[in-house]
Structure 1
Amino acid sequence: MQLATPSRLDEPSPPGSGHIDFDEFYQAHFRAMTVQLCAYTGDLGHAQDLVQEAFCRAFSRWQRIVRYDDPVAWVRKVAWNLATSRWRRVRAAERFLRGQREEHVPGPSPDRVALEAALALLPANHRRAVILHHLADLPIAEIARQESVAEGTVKSWLHRGRTALAAHLTEGKEGKDRA
């Protein structure tokens, strides 16, 4: 589509030349363009925004556009270009989002929740010893070096920690069995 341009852009429009003012132009064409863009985009609100933006751009250039053979064609072209640009941005965003798939990770199992709750009830040194030995697979000698205590102390912490864990975990299981 070729837009008609005026012969001389510098000349002001002579009075009585048949040119309409912007308000009249807007009122005469906004509804029809909105209907066209609504059919294209499928969204009335978005169509109104696109047409409004096109008219805003026309308003800032009105002294030049009013002298075109068909100023409506200029506004329509701008509105359609805005709609096309939106479609391109939406497609690019959708392509990006498809590459950013959400990874669904299952929540903790009831046993894991019970173990964490039971560990939280232990004294800090017993809890550290149990975690380092059973979850981090550290030998007793390594835990003793890390905690700056004798190996016998670590063995004592492990024994007391495991005993307390067993009691807490059996209490929780018995409570579930009764319910």
Structure 2
Amino acid sequence: MTVRMRARAAEPPPAELGRSPGPPTFDGFYHAHFRSVTTQLWAYTGDLGQAQDLAQEAFCRALARWDRLARYDDPVAWVRQVAWNLARSRWRRLRTARNHLLRQRRQEPEVAGPSPDRVAIDRALAELPANQRRAIVLHYLADLSVAQIALQEGVAEGTVKSWLHRGRAALATLLNDNTEGVGDV
């Protein structure tokens, strides 16, 4: 009895005897052809990750239709064609998106960086107390009057005048300190 079991275990499976057990399984098909389809797509796209994604998508679509595809003479040709169509579609979408972005990009003139004087003024303004800085910016850059600044800040006009006076004095000192030694090289 044990001899017979050994003899049966040594017999090749029916597929190896030339008898076809039925249509091929999807798993066997996938394992047999995924690498070659991926390699072809990699050569086409130049990107291994993208090639693997495209091949995977094509095989997923084949799985959904496997009952019909299994009867084809060459089901891998169908998978390959689907993968190539997916690659072309992806390239078209990318090209369309790139062209759309290029059309949307506004051509703004190139603006030169701030001058050294502007940098010095900005640095000096940053060192002023907040109320003096606001008063100077509102008066000299926003062109607001002393009365308008007083109304906006909720203080008396005399307070705004004091902020402007102290702010200008501090700016003069800070700007003189920043420019000393610049020309003494």
TM-score interval for Structure 1 and Structure 2 normalised by the shorter chain: 0.7 to 0.9
Alignment-derived partner of residue 102 in structure 2: 98
Alignment-derived partner of residue 21 in structure 1: 25
Q: 2:54, 2:81 → 1: CA distance?
A: 11
- Give yes or no for the alignment of 1:56 onto 2:60: yes
Change in 2 beyond 3 A, CA 1:26/1:154: closer
Alignment of 1:131-150 (within 5 A): 131-150=137-156
Which shifted more, 75-84 or 146-155?
146-155
Q: 2:32, 2:170 → 1: CA distance?
A: 83
For CA contacts below 8 A with separation 6 or more, give which structure has more relative contact order: 1
What SS does structure 1 have at the residue aligned with 2:71?
A: coil
Residue of 168, 179, 182 corresponding to 1:173: 179
Q: 1:115, 1:170 → 2: CA distance?
A: 11
Alignment-derived partner of residue 88 in structure 1: 92
Q: Which runs of 5+ in 2 are unaligned?
A: 1-18
Count of residue pairs brought into register by the alignment: 165
Change in 2 beyond 3 A, CA 1:161/1:62: same
Q: 2:61, 2:151 → 1: CA distance?
A: 74
Change in 2 beyond 3 A, CA 1:20/1:120: same
Q: Which runs of 5+ in 1 are unaligned?
A: 1-14
Change in 2 beyond 3 A, CA 1:152/1:29: closer
State the AA in 2 paired with 1:101: R
Q: 1:82, 1:169 → 2: CA distance?
A: 64
* TM-score, reference length from structure 2: 0.71
What SS does structure 1 have at the residue aligned with 2:180?
A: helix
Change in 2 beyond 3 A, CA 1:75/1:141: same
Q: 1:176, 1:91 → 2: CA distance?
A: 53
Output the aligned Cα RMSD.
Answer: 2.8
Shift of 1:50: 1.3
State the AA in 2 paired with 1:132: L
What SS does structure 2 have at the residue aligned with 1:99?
A: helix
Which shifted more, 118-127 or 159-168?
118-127
Alignment-derived partner of residue 4 in structure 1: none
Q: 1:24, 1:158 → 2: CA distance?
A: 85
Higher CA-based Rg: 2
- Give yes or no for the alignment of 1:78 onto 2:82: yes
State the AA in 2 paired with 1:113: V
- Give yes or no for the alignment of 1:36 onto 2:40: yes
* TM-score, reference length from structure 1: 0.73
Q: 1:84, 1:134 → 2: CA distance?
A: 60
Which shifted more, 165-174 or 60-69?
60-69
Change in 2 beyond 3 A, CA 1:18/1:164: same
Report percent identity of matched pairs.
67
Q: 2:147, 2:38 → 1: CA distance?
A: 79
